[in-house]
Amino acid sequence: MNTVGLTESDILDPKTGEPIKFDGKTIGEVVLRDGSLMLGYLKDTEGTCKCMRENGWFYTGDVGVIHPD
């Protein structure tokens, strides 16, 4: 059984890279940041460039919202 342990996760606006509003309505992209996320991208420069940004976040391609509570 595999276990994923994350240091950081958030939902960001994919265009600006800024956190979305905590209103349960604003849609953003789920992003993750940890030292063990990129194993599947070893020696895949093109794949890495599509999902990583200069801000250090791994952009998953999944959408999400954050509720105020």
Is residue 32 classed as helix, strand or coil in its secondary structure? strand
| Cα dist from 39 to 36, 52, 55, whole Å | 7, 13, 19
d(CA 12, CA 64): 9
Whether 2 maps to a domain, the answer reads: no
Task: Please indicate, yes or no, whether the overall pTM of this predicted structure exceeds 0.95.
Answer: no
Q: How many domains does the chain divide into? A: 1
Whether 39 maps to a domain, the answer reads: yes
Domain of 35? 7-65
Q: Specify whether the CB–CB gap between 29 and 60 falls below 8 A.
A: yes
Whether 19 maps to a domain, the answer reads: yes
CATH number where 37 lies: 2.30.38.10
Whether 1 maps to a domain, the answer reads: no
pLDDT digits (tens, 9 = 90+) for 8-27: 899 999 788 899 999 999 99
Inform me whether the pLDDT recorded for 3 exceeds 80. Answer: no
pLDDT digits (tens, 9 = 90+) for 25-64: 999 999 998 877 776 677 888 877 788 877 788 888 999 9
Tally Cβ neighbours within 10 Å of residue 17: 14
d(CA 64, CA 11): 7
